[in-house]
Amino acid sequence: MIPMRAISSYLNNMDDIAIEESSGKWWSGDLKNIYIGTNRIGDAEVSFKFLNIFIGKTEFVIKISGQDIEFQGQVGKSFLGDTLIQDAKFNIDVIKAYSKGKAIPQPISSLRGEIEYLRFKSTKCIKAQGDAIAEVMDVLGIFRRNISVSSSIECKDKNLRVTFESQQEGTLSGEIIITPDLTYELIARSDNITSKIKELTKLNFNQTPTIKSSGTFLDLIEAL
């Protein structure tokens, strides 16, 4: 019988993932102190869905709980090699960052939502459906208050596309494109930034500028 530590050893060999402890068997067990990059995610309960083998999938129900994150959903692979995430719900509170012992304000104070269905290969995004709501903290004083931003996911041109928009029109909108090799490009727009530029420069600035950022998916997680 294969112990759960065989799965944790496999995950530990993946870039940017670390698991300190495991218990149980491969079909039902626990993973303790999971890290992605420098972020401690929490602990996980893992159980295998045996009946899904008959419909061409090897799938686990995963429940993650930590100080900053709650996640429960089904994660697995089809016999065609596709990776699947479905019926997943998550709730992320602010992931605190520190510098020299002092807390650093984070732009996202909370993120909650669900992934109804996400299917992808190493070469392309196949199908995606889900949504989320984030509370964005105004750490730069641009919006004059914290704002709520809703988002949805879809597959577009082999990439995963996340579109987002604030509940108040014009405050913040944009998209995040995540490629199969887990790099991302973020483009954000805000009428408030235009107003701030006019205020600071006293110029008749009529265009809505865009804010662009890019990097690896781990960079994006670290930036939350």
pLDDT of residue 200: 47
How far from the centroid of its chain's Cα atoms is residue 172's Cα?
19
The CA distance from 60 to 78, in Å, is 12
Contact 39, 95 (CB under 8 A): yes
pLDDT of residue 158: 94
pLDDT of residue 97: 52
Residue-by-residue DSSP string for 118-153: EEE-SS-EEEEEEEEEEEE--TTSSSSS-EEEEEEE
The CA distance from 59 to 48, in Å, is 6
Contact 48, 60 (CB under 8 A): yes
Contact 11, 17 (CB under 8 A): yes
* Residue 96 φ then ψ, to 5°: -70, 135
Contacts of 127 (CB under 8 A, 6+ apart): 117, 118, 119, 155
- In the chain (224 residues long), the average pLDDT of successive 10-residue segments reads 64 74 86 84 90 85 90 91 92 63 60 93 94 73 67 95 83 88 86 54 58 79 62
The identity of residue 50, as a single letter, is F
